[in-house]
Chain A
């Protein structure tokens, strides 16, 4: 048996697979939160992105790269469209961000719009997928011990997510626009006085955040599950874990990557162990990512409660010029 068949390598490779949607969703939430808007609708936007991406692969015919590109693009637009509702409510109408985000998840989620659209289009868990993301064998290095399956034998979605992580980190840390975003999230009144359009920045980042969440949903319907099912089992709380990830990552893109793979590994563990006939109660394994989210969140919040590192100061607070 080669080292690549060992449980550890399989779990590591699966950690990257399952961590990718978490990474996309966390990057999106990071952008929105850095501009001062909390969006708790990630789970709903992911579920909707998943069904829209799946729909494109069913209805559009063409070569795999074209169809899949269109599918991911459509999922991104779907996520952004939903985020626009949230943006309008919380930025223009100054509604409570927490309740509005919850409303978005209820609206778009497994008992809402994603189920509505999916069943109206006649999809079911038995609908076979026409096109899905396949793992690449980059530079023919897929057979390398350990690194092969983990790094070089993944789908385009994974490699693109690395690019996006780099871009988001660069954008927030090294560009003027990124500086402006941080100003809007930390001190909107000062940013406004400097001539930065607070409303515009917030809208753009909430919408782009929604687009990332839509892509994260498409990771499930086009790659991990490669199919669609009604209800919220398809995404299964990953949107909420992504929101927690942003907190663990101290609002930094590169740390989102680390956290996403950690939780990707925990999510992949039950499936990896299934083939091995390990005698562990499956519910216990399924509960692991949820319990670990709580544990890590507690560690982070107790360790840093004295000075909240990274949290944008104006997160969750509507900005009203006349009332500053």
Chain B
């Protein structure tokens, strides 16, 4: 067997390889489930029912899919430039802090001002998320500091900040109005006008999910139809060529990090406006959901294509949702993370088939010497 580099990729391969990786991943997971004494068929049937086909399952899946749609886009935008921002987790927290501040600040309005709230909350969240992402961005651009470690360290700092605001201070976000709230720390509830609307009746679509789809469209236009994306591609493939062509690498690093952080930040705004309606500072709440890390899985499986991110977010969202719903003695905890890891391993292994052609050498039937002689 031999590997040969492909000069061109047939179009069907970029669909077949991710789908094939998913199938292989489910097979591998099936083996693990069987080895640990679970019936794989039964477990998968439960996952599909709880994630997609059951009553109201799709609406619940969209709730899980919304945050990872944002963090997936955030990762895709940065990873495309070989800029490994794994700080979407912290940028999402900062977005949630910003959005909840706006909602509390302009609280006593009536429901007709909801559109204004949506815009203002998204803007504040995007700004804070972008600022948080610019810390590793600036360090990378001007001090050449490894952005992987700095962005990751800031996730822990952002998580501690969240806990501090609700648990260890009498901050603006903390609810101190009742005796109960003073002894069991919790965030202030958001005013009704700041709660985002939902659409649809049989399948409830949160506004945040639609904003995420719009963001995917914007990212696609920016990356596939504009100079911005072209330059990002050149810098990813050959930083040296980009420099010779006079592209401003530093400026682009800052722009891409800010864009990535802003998208993750809006994901935080959607958490506040769509789902929780309060700033959740508990280490077992928003911080335990690990939306930022799941976003990396989504982005990698989508091969950093913004439209594929939307689809994959719903798929992985279904898996997450099934994990929450089925939590209990018959459903192994940690299964969802293991599953994500295996899917990602298979997708990474599958990349090889996109870039290389597997050649199985057969013995030659014609003797080249005899051929030349004749």
Contacts and interface: CB of A to CB of B under 8 A. Distances in A.
A107 interface: yes
Interface stretch (A14-22, A66-74, A94-102, A138-146): A94-102
Nearest to A247: B146
Interface in A289-315: 290-291, 293-294, 297-298, 301-302, 305
Contact of B153 (A98, A110, A291): A291
- Most chain A CB inside 10 Å of its own CB: which residue of B143, B340, B352: B143
Interface stretch (B42-50, B161-169, B260-268, B305-313): B161-169
A129 interface: no
Contacts of A115: 333-334, 337
B352 to A, nearest CB: 5
A178 B168 CA distance: 50
Contacts of A301: 139, 143-146
Interface in A230-285: 230-231, 233, 236-237, 240-241, 243-244, 247, 281-284
- Most chain B CB inside 10 Å of its own CB: which residue of A116, A118, A284, A293: A116
Given A103-B344, A290-B157, A281 B164 contact: yes
B181 interface: no
A117 B157 CA distance: 29
Given A107-B342, A284-B164, A294-B150, 19 more contacts: A40-B148, A93-B349, A93-B351, A95-B349, A100-B345, A106-B293, A107-B344, A116-B333, A116-B337, A118-B334, A120-B36, A236-B156, A240-B149, A241-B153, A283-B161, A290-B154, A298-B139, A301-B146, A302-B143
Contacts of B344: 99, 103, 106-107
Given A283-B164, A301-B144, A120 B300 contact: no
A282 B283 CA distance: 14
Interface string B54-71: 000000000000000000
Contacts of B152: 237, 240
B5 interface: yes
A198 interface: no
A225 interface: no
28 contacts: A40-B148, A85-B345, A89-B348, A96-B348, A96-B351, A102-B296, A103-B344, A104-B341, A106-B294, A106-B297, A106-B340, A112-B337, A116-B337, A116-B338, A117-B334, A118-B334, A119-B333, A240-B149, A240-B152, A281-B164, A290-B157, A293-B153, A294-B139, A294-B149, A294-B154, A298-B139, A298-B150, A301-B145
Contacts of A156: none
B283 to A, nearest CB: 8
Contacts of A112: 334, 337-338, 340-341
Contacts of A94: 352, 355
Interface string B303-343: 00000000000000000000000000000111111101110
A113 B352 CA distance: 25
Q: Determine chain B's interface SS by DSSP, over half rule.
A: helix
Contacts, number: 152
B348 A93 contact: yes
Size category of the A interface is 35 or more
Contact of A98 (B84, B338, B345): B84
A111 B337 contact: yes
B290 interface: yes
B86 interface: yes
B160 interface: yes
Given A98-B148, A106-B297, A108-B341, A120 B164 contact: no
A299 to B, nearest CB: 9
A109 interface: yes
B345 A89 contact: yes
Nearest to B162: A283
A99 B296 CA distance: 8
B149 A95 contact: no
Contacts of B154: 290, 294
B153 A290 contact: yes
B332 A116 contact: yes
Nearest to A113: B338
A164 interface: no
A93 B358 CA distance: 12
Interface string A124-146: 00000000000000000000000
B149 A297 contact: yes
A283 B297 contact: no
Contacts of A111: 290, 334, 336-337
Given A106-B340, A113-B337, A283 B160 contact: yes
B340 A107 contact: yes
B179 interface: no
A113 B32 CA distance: 11
Nearest to B142: A302
B245 interface: no
Contacts of B336: 111
A165 B234 CA distance: 42
B178 to A, nearest CB: 24
Contact of B341 (A106, A230, A247, A323): A106
B373 interface: no
- Most chain B CB inside 10 Å of its own CB: which residue of A283, A298, A301: A283
Contacts of A104: 341
B360 interface: no
Contacts of A85: 345
A287 interface: yes
